[in-house]
Structure 1
Amino acid sequence: MSVSNPLLRELKGYVLHLVQDSVNREISDDYEHIQPLCQNLENIFQQGLYHSYSVGYKGAESWNWLEKITEVHYGATFTYNTAVNEVRSCRKVVTPRGKLRLLIRTCLNKKCLHVPVEAIVRYKYPTGVYQTKDSILGDEILGEIFLSVLLQCSKIAFHLCLKNAVFLDETWQLTDYVTHEFVPCRILGLNVGFVRERGVVVAVEESGVAGEDDKVEIGDLVDELNGHWIRATQRGRLSSYMKQAEGKPITLSILKGHNAVGELYPPIIRLLGKLQVDTTALEARFKAKLSSKEQRPLSGVPSTKSERAGIPVRYLGIVSTGSRGDVNQIDRAITAVLRNRMSKIKSGDQVNGDKDKEEGQFEIQDMGVQVSSRQTGKIFLKHSYMEISSCGGRSDLPDHFAYIAGETSCNVAKNFNCYVFHCANEDQIRLILQSIGQGFQRTHWAV
């Protein structure tokens, strides 16, 4: 075999790019050369294997010898042994090819892919794996070249997401792996269909916590819920996983069903087809949504201090409600704050010592609310939904509203304060109160 093997030339090109690019950026899954690099490494490990070197599968698989060298500890380091054990214990990959692919990614992260190559090239163990004429690892010179390239590769810091493994049995093409943390809730608002051991989102409730801002969409694959890998045999345990985390944030890891331009991920297209989901219409919807975002006018983007995000409000003041945080305190609190302001006006005192705080922007967020200065943008009030115990207004003062919050989660708080606001737009007040009310539902508190 010529020393100018095309697979080696291709590998050298990828590693050259890696060495140059790793100086200025992190080498993660979004790096353009990762997928072809890994495919190239697989091709080298699979090239020229004796077909007799397989265990229970059609064709020869290099995973078998890569795993075997850890059992004899011939030249295998602790780091490599750990990598192999992690792949062995991973239930997301089932086939030898899937395990090989996950091992390549794991070894790149751990900088130890050269270890098994060194064992077979220099220590000649194991034997009888590769044909001498039709492989890189079976040829003494090519094997040494391959080893030297991998040693250079081991100096690069890879940050590949190893949890993204459920489709490695089928393909090297991986979709985005995203982890969301939601506020404590009883339900996420998702309907999940199971096919081929995988759970795919087939419906999303618009008012549900997971559907906010399109965090989770139809076609996304549910991979982990609170650290538990989700597959068909666990479909009945989803509710129990939610109950185990009652009162705590919910962590959901998903594989996105479409890419940045709205195209569906091919392996998920096949799953959606079996679940009777119209993939053509779904992809068209994603593309239309992305197109509408791109065409949205920029006039709504804040460009000055006075155009910051949020609803314009006037912060009127704070009053303690003692150990009570129920909604019945709202009426009295608003009265107390207004009375205090009127008495200051009559006496000639300054109503509010900080004008920036009085003119504020009320922002409704995923985990809570915050109020910032309309002029400077500085945040002067911020409370999570866990801390807010009630909200509301007065029928005789429709342009006023308030919420009560404790010094910690309101089910254990000892002291509560009521924060009172004025807003000229009654529809925006209703929006604020309804949004806080939805936050209550997600955090188990009632308005």
Structure 2
Amino acid sequence: VCVLNLQSDGASVTDTNPHLSSCCELLELVLRKGLQPVLSLVNRDYWHCFEQLPHHDTCTLAVEQTRGCKKLLSAQGRGRYLLRLALSRGALPQFIKHLLHTPRVLEWYCPNSSILRNEEFVPFMSLLLVLSQMEFQMDMENCSFLDESWLLPVCDVYEVVPCREVGVVLYLSGRVFVLELMPGSQAYADKFVLPGDIIDEINGTSLRNSKCGQAGVVLSRLKGCPLYIRILRWRAHDGTMYRPIVKHLRALRTENPTLQLTPLPSPQSGPQDLKPSTSQCLKEGIVYIVQYLGKANIGMFGGKEVLHQAITLVLQKNLPSKEALLDLKETHELLEHHYPEISCVGRYSQPDYTIFAFCVDCPETPQSSGFSCVGFHASNLRECEAIVCRITGFKHTEWFV
């Protein structure tokens, strides 16, 4: 099914293809199935298998290129990079054949459960040959998150003209984050980078896992020179927050409450705005930036009939709104509430169509009883519709401020 989905567009497969990560994930599962640990203590990964293959022109060059990538810190990241490299070169069948003809490596796989050591590998090889005939055009430099996820961020490269100071305030939290832009600076004028984005490399120097101050040292060394900056965006291809970055922004916001993420621009009104956005990465989740408006006790009935009135009660409190990250996924609860506790969810009918809320069987205070309504303000109508549709579609949610 994944192969057919990749072929459906009839064009080159790029990182923006919604089916690419699913296909790579399945390839990874096949290569891990039946892989036995070392002395039942240390887990092997398929990268260790490819790393141990004897000299072979195609495989050796790819393995050496993978070893030399400074942005990869784990066996999982290197294995994923190698798979992407093999797909882009149409060489994945050769890799697997080479592995199958190397007994000392193949014996790492359990003969009873491994696909590679059973007759089932015959159709698997056929599918690999189909993949090798397809054209993959992937950005191999965009690999800093392969240690964590098959989903890759939006990656842009900008050339900054020579200047005394770029004008970005940076913060190190595993990666080099942009905290703010200095007014009047080159970065402030060009807006080539935004708060929350990641500086991945500067003039070919990777900042992955960099030490404190390293980015400043690199910038100082290149003062007055043109800068080629590779930037990883906090916003994903579909406009929502890039899921693997959420935990970093949590820590970043805890230590730097001044961090403000740029909201989505409001789209032009039209029929397309009412269509919920879709995603192929439901397991990873989707994160929206919303405004938390507060909550109010609404009594002993929490059906959809009272939702409009319930939202009105929340708005009447006139509490200051707080920016919140609404994390929609399949396996989590909504804050401390389990999904079955939510009695209804919906969008405000008027006058502001971008306000939505849910009612939950949980009082606002220990002294009160009944249902509470929790209200939010989305960036635009399309986003509001997408959030409501996903919650009503039994996709679980959590949020944090």
TM-score tier by shorter-chain length is 0.5 to 0.7
Cα deviation 1:193-240 (Å, max 9, x = unaligned):
1122x1111112343323445421111111001111114545434344
What is the deviation of 1:126? Answer: 2.4
1:23-422 superposed matches below 5 A: 23=10, 25-52=11-38, 58-69=42-53, 72-73=54-55, 76=56, 78-122=57-101, 124=103, 126-139=105-118, 141-196=119-174, 198-212=175-189, 214-231=191-208, 233-260=210-237, 262-276=239-253, 286-287=262-263, 289-291=264-266, 294=268
Distance in 1 separating the partners of 2:222 and 2:195: 24
Q: Do the aligned partners of residues 260 and 29 (structure 1) sit closer, same or farther apart at CA in structure 2, a change above 3 Å counting?
A: closer
- Residue 16 of structure 1 is matched in structure 2 by 4
| Distance (Å, rounded) in 2 between the aligned partners of 1:268 and 1:124 | 40
Give yes or no for contact 2:66–2:78 (8 Å, CA) kept in 1.
yes
Change (3 A) 1:133 1:268: same
Q: Deviation of residue 257 (structure 1)?
A: 0.7
State the secondary structure of the residue aligned to 2:34. Answer: coil
- Whether the aligned pair in 1 keeps the contact of 2:177 and 2:199 (CA below 8 Å) is yes
**Greater percentage in helix:** 1
- Per the alignment, residue 307 of structure 2 pairs with none
Q: Which moved more, 1:227-236 or 1:25-34?
A: 227-236
Separation in 2, partners of 1:105, 1:229: 20
Aligned counterpart, 2:339? none
Looking at structure 1, the residues matched to 147 and 42 of structure 2 have their Cα atoms a distance apart, in angstroms, of 15
Q: Distance in 1 between matches of 2:82 and 2:184?
A: 41
8 A Cα contact 1:226 1:251, kept in partner: yes
CA contact (8 A) 2:194 2:262 kept: no
Q: CA deviation at 1:185?
A: 1.4
Deviations 1:110-143 (A, max 9, x none): 221112210233564523121122121121x222
Match of 1:403 in 2: none
Overall identity of the aligned pairs, in %: 28
Match of 1:290, SS state, is: coil
- Kept in 2, the 8 Å contact 1:185–1:246? The answer is yes
Q: Is the 8 A contact 1:226 1:241 kept in 2?
A: no
Unpaired runs of at least 5, structure 2: 271-401
Supply the distance in 2 between the matched residues of 1:94 and 1:156 (Cα, whole angstroms).
Answer: 29
- Give distance in 1, aligned partners of 2:186 and 2:204: 19
Alpha-carbon distance between aligned partners in 2 of 1:278 and 1:246, rounded to the nearest angstrom: 29
3-state SS, counterpart of residue 276 of structure 1:
helix
User: Contact 2:50–2:99 (CA<8 Å) still a contact in 1?
Assistant: no
Using the TM superposition, give the Cα deviation of residue 178 of structure 1 relative to its aligned residue in structure 2, in angstroms.
0.9
Moved more, 237-246 or 177-186: 237-246
AA of the residue aligned to 1:62: Y
Aligned CA distance change for structure 1 residues 261 and 36 (closer, same or farther; 3 Å): closer
Query: SS at 2:177's partner residue?
Result: strand
* Alignment size in residue pairs: 270
Please list every run of 5 or more consecutive structure 1 residues that lacks an aligned counterpart in the other structure.
1-12, 297-447
Q: 1:222 to 1:277 in 2, by over 3 A?
A: farther
In 1, Cα distance between the equivalents of 2:150 and 2:257? 24
Cα separation, partners in 2 of 1:67 and 1:232, compared to 1, 3 Å: closer
CA distance in 2, matches of 1:119, 1:214: 48
Q: Is the 8 A contact 1:61 1:96 kept in 2?
A: yes
Alpha-carbon distance in 2 for matches of 1:247, 1:213:
17
Q: For the aligned residues, what is the CA RMSD?
A: 2.8
Q: Distance in 1 between matches of 2:46 and 2:227?
A: 39
With normalisation by structure 2, the TM-score equals: 0.61
TM-score (ref. length: structure 1) = 0.55
CA deviation map 1:68-90 (0-9, x unaligned): 00xx22xx3x2221111111111
Structure 1 counterpart of 2:184, which letter?
Answer: S
Counterpart-to-counterpart distance in 1, 2:39 and 2:145:
25
Q: CA deviation at 1:260?
A: 4.9
User: Which of these two proteins has the greater Rg computed from alpha carbons?
Assistant: 1
Q: Distance in 2 between matches of 1:53 and 1:28?
A: 40
